[in-house]
Structure 1
Amino acid sequence: MTRTPFKLGLTGSIGMGKSTTATMFRDAGVPVWDADAAVHAMYDVGGAAVSEIARLCPDAVVEGRVDRDVLRAWVGKTPDAIDRLNAVIHPLVRRNRVDFLSENADAPIVLLDIPLLFETGGDQEVDAIVVVTAPPEVQSARVLDRGTMSVEQFETILNRQMPDADKRARADYIVETTTLDAARAAVHHVLTEIRKTL
């Protein structure tokens, strides 16, 4: 009987340290599928989503790639835009994830890094869930110190995401990212516990 990899879902709200934590799993030898990176690649030149998005919003495709700012503006002023966009993107993302899983079929554990894991129902497709968390003041400082978004934009994103407390309540494992050492220790603990079950 062939074993399939143990699918570990990783999620956490913006600014919680999810990307850093995913890198820690990768450094521990776990193949990582990154939903955001998959979408970025699909939006780039030659990406699978470019022609589909050109049909939805022609102005959003500039020099063969999707201009995310133009796309965001279109979504903001078009009532059903997000549903139409999701109908195009979700099947492409799913196919990309299936390809990743088949390419890593021999790995004992794989990590699926999905920001909206609960919101999109992705929690039903994994064997366990890691939620990355940090205190609210650390979260907001991290996001706003990047200088890439305003307080209002940050709050808009937070309002679209499931509250941190709800995510933690549904987690199998929690990684606190207040310090890098604490996060590394938590990642080691998660992998040790999972390996006991394989």
Structure 2
Amino acid sequence: MKRIGLTGSIGSGKSTVARMLSQRGIPVLDADQVAREVSRDPQTLAEVSKAFGPEYITQEGLNRPKVAALVFQNPQARETLNSIIHPRVRARMLELEQNLNSPVVVQDIPLLFEGGLDHTMDATIVVDAPLEQRIERVMVRDGLTREQILARDHTQMPASEKRKRATFVIQNEASLERVEAQLEYILDELGWPFSEA
């Protein structure tokens, strides 16, 4: 199975590219979605409660606004949370991957390079856009302030470093048609349509 890592900084348009890949029949495993799933696991919640206090969990799962406010300001707390969540996410992603009957899988992972997971991929795609454009998108999409977005962006590897490490880069500052064209080129380079051979 060919494994492709997809990543990008906040507001870059990574989800748009993931959707385009899915529309082509290419399976995409979303690490954020899996993280939300494992975050509802009682054992995970018990560990988070023990590490930070019961006010960081609710009946539905993590108290997301409270957890975000803590971890995006406190690197030690972020490291602790990641040490609880990330191993579970990786185990679940592997399980989902093994259940696929496909010659290729795309793993959509926000912290692909930060977690050293690029070394487990056959190729990596970074989606990128100018900072101001990314900030504007996230303000509209999530209702976050500029300061909140920058705080989150600063916890990640700089976009310039991601571009350097990537096998391929998709620039997402213009039209969707332009993004589609870049994606088509990348898939062609990777040998799509993929076959079992």
TM range (shorter): 0.7 to 0.9
Counterpart for residue 156 of structure 1: 151
Q: How does 1:35-114 map to 2 (within 5 A)?
A: 35-44=31-40, 46=41, 49-56=44-51, 57-75=53-71, 80-104=76-100, 106-114=101-109
When normalised by structure 2's length, the TM-score is 0.87
Query: How many positions carry a matched residue from both structures?
Result: 192
Secondary structure in structure 2 of the residue aligned to 1:161: coil
Q: Distance in 2 between matches of 1:174 and 1:78?
A: 31
Alignment match, 2:177: 181
Q: Secondary structure at the match of 1:192?
A: helix
Greater CA deviation, 148-157 or 78-87?
78-87
Query: CA offsets, 1:19-52, max 9 Å, x none?
Result: 01101111111111111111112223x5662233
Q: In 1, are the aligned partners of 2:18 and 2:108 still within 8 Å (CA)?
A: yes
- In structure 1, runs of 5+ residues without a counterpart are none
Structure 2 match to 1:168 = 163
In structure 2, the partner of 1:123 is 118
- Matched to 2:140, the amino acid is D
Distance 2:132 2:156 in 1: 17
Change in CA separation of 1:131 and 1:79 when aligned onto 2, cut-off 3 Å: closer
Residue matched to 1:136: 131
- Matched residue type, 1:171: A
Q: CA RMSD in A?
A: 2.2
CA gap of 1:31–1:153, structure 2 versus 1, over 3 A, is same
Which of 176, 189, 195 is 2:191 aligned to?
A: 195
CA distance in 2, matches of 1:74, 1:48: 21
- Residue 179 of structure 1, CA deviation: 1.3
TM-superposed deviation, 1:75: 3.8
C-alpha separation in 2, matches of 1:13 and 1:79: 18
The gaps in structure 2 that reach 5 residues or longer are: none
Change (3 A) 1:77 1:128: closer
**Percentage identity across paired residues of the two chains:** 35
SS in 1 for 2:106: strand
Query: What amino acid is the match of 2:126?
Result: V
Tell me how far 1:74 sits from its aligned partner: 4.4
Report the AA paired with residue 63 of structure 1.
Answer: Q
